[in-house]
Structure 1
Amino acid sequence: MAGYVEFYRLGKTYDTPNGPAVIVEDFNLNMDKGEYVCLLGHSGCGKSTVLTMAAGLNPISHGGIVVANHEIDGPGPDRGVVFQSPCLMPWMTALENVLLGVNQVYPHGTKSQRHDIAAYYLTLVGLGNSLDVRASSLSQGMQQRVGIARAFALKPNMLLLDEPFGMLDSLTRMELQEVLLEILIRDKVTTLMITHDVDEALFMSDKVVMMTNGPRARVGKVFEMPFERPRVRSEVLEHPEYYKLRGDMISFLEEQDHKKMKQDAEKLQQKQAEESQQAVSV
């Protein structure tokens, strides 16, 4: 059964001097409207490749992605994106940075209406008193708040988050996690987030999708979160299933580590055998 968002047989192949390199293969995932899904896996497994294809920033080689009954074929305001670095215009104020997108999405709104939309979302992320502060003068955490406000102000059907808290200190990270969840509950935006952090995935998501190692990465296992919303961090940590889920997720990642070590050892043995055969031939 298809969901509000559907990834079907999604694949990404790059041409290289040594032939085609298949990064992601047969990636399948359905997401319900308003669902929060975390994509978790080791570095280089293809998580960001999946997200950039969903954002329309990376051409799809195989399969497709449907968002709200529309098959994507490029970037669009129906998908808001927040990267690890917010990529703000440093000479512009927080308000002006958010207005860049708002002006494009609401061209028929009055100047006052567009201002109010941008100011509203900046206030939601805690920057109501910093609307006119230049981005270059904001802390890293405040800049990321602007990036989150900018994404939500577009009223997207889907929000795509690529390790949005990865560059922040732990206290700022936890604070922004809760800010983001509050807005998501209010706006009910379907969200896909990439993370390396098991605890972050457990706290934030409705569903955690574990990816196998690349190349030819795909969905390896899916964990459903039993925690109620709105989330209270202390209650999540005290939930009887929290540490079992955490252990199962870490075990999956360790299993992928062992598979990679075995594959690397087999490749090394094959290379040494080929080199020995070449030496004998000479």
Structure 2
Amino acid sequence: MAGFVEMFRLGKTYDTPNGPAVIVEEFNLNLAKGEYVCLLGHSGCGKSTVLTMTAGLNPITHGGIVIDGHEIEGPGPDRGVVFQSPCLMPWMTAMENVLLGVNQVYPHGTKAQRHDIAAYYLTLVGLGNSLHTRASALSQGMQQRVGIARAFALKPKMLLLDEPFGMLDSLTRMELQEILLEILIRDKVTTMMITHDVDEALFMSDKVVMMTNGPRARVGKVFEMPFDRPRVRAEVLDHPDYYDLRGDMIQFLEDQDHKKLKADAEALEAKKQAEQEPQPAGA
């Protein structure tokens, strides 16, 4: 079944001195318009590779990605990206950082119109009183708010989030999770987020996509979230399915750990046996 976003047989291979390294293979995933999907898996499983290919920042080796009927061929304003570090220009104000993108996407708007767009999204993320504060003077949490405002101000068809709350303290993290969800509901932006946090995935997403270990990572299992929107954290935690889903997701990750340990042990044993084999005369 086709989706608003379609990833079909997506793959990424890097050339190395030891031959091709297949990082992601046969990755298939559809997202409905306005759907919030989390990619969850162990470090190094290829989550960021999938996200950067979707952003157009990393060339696709195999397969393709279609967004709203158009196959992507590189980066574009139809996709907004928020990384773990907000990547702001430290000498610019919050307003100026957001306007960097707004000026590119709305070149025919008046200066006042572009200013209003930037100010609107900065206010939504709680920075209405810090529009003209330099990024270098903002806290880490406030800088990430600027990054979120900048992404939304572009009016993207798809939002890509690479562990956007990973460097924040727990209180700031929870506050920004709820702010982000409020804006997403308002703007109905299709979203894909990378996280290592099972509870964050449960609270934020409509669907959690578990990735297998790399190399050759792919979709391992998909969990549908039964929680209503708008989300209320206490209600999500009290939902009768919450802890069953949480346990199943953790079990999947533990199973991946066991598979990796087994594969590593087999590879080590094969190496030992190869080293013990007698070498041909004159070798």
Q: TM-score normalised to the size of structure 2?
A: 0.98
Query: Which amino acid is the alignment partner of residue 191 of structure 1?
Result: T
CA deviation map 1:46-91 (0-9, x unaligned) = 0000000000000000000001111000000000000000000000
Task: Give 1:18's aligned residue.
Answer: 18
How far does residue 180 in structure 1 lie from its aligned partner after superposition?
0.2
SS at match of 1:102: helix
Task: Give 2:90's aligned residue.
Answer: 90
Task: Give 1:158's aligned residue.
Answer: 158
Matched, 1:233 2:233: yes
SS at match of 2:277: helix
How far does residue 278 in structure 1 lie from its aligned partner after superposition?
5.3
Distance 1:68 1:168 in 2: 33
Query: Which amino acid is the alignment partner of residue 195 of structure 1?
Result: T
Query: Which amino acid is the alignment partner of residue 104 of structure 2?
Result: Q
SS at match of 2:249: helix
Distance 2:279 2:249 in 1: 45
Task: Give 1:199's aligned residue.
Answer: 199
Task: Give 1:129's aligned residue.
Answer: 129
Cα distance 1:173–1:278, how it changes in 2: closer, same or farther (>3 A)? farther
Task: Give 1:102's aligned residue.
Answer: 102
Task: Give 2:67's aligned residue.
Answer: 67
How far does residue 279 in structure 1 lie from its aligned partner after superposition?
7.0
CA deviation map 1:77-109 (0-9, x unaligned) = 000000000000000000000000000000000
Residue identity (%): 85
Task: Give 1:47's aligned residue.
Answer: 47
Aligned-residue RMSD, C-alpha: 1.0
CA deviation map 1:172-208 (0-9, x unaligned) = 1000000000000000000000000000000000000
Task: Give 2:117's aligned residue.
Answer: 117
Q: TM-score normalised to the size of structure 1?
A: 0.99
Matched, 1:33 2:33: yes
| Equivalent residue pairs, number | 282
The gaps in structure 2 that reach 5 residues or longer are none
Task: Give 2:219's aligned residue.
Answer: 219
Task: Give 1:249's aligned residue.
Answer: 249
How far does residue 136 in structure 1 lie from its aligned partner after superposition?
0.2
How far does residue 272 in structure 1 lie from its aligned partner after superposition?
1.0
Query: Which amino acid is the alignment partner of residue 109 of structure 2?
Result: G
SS at match of 1:122: helix
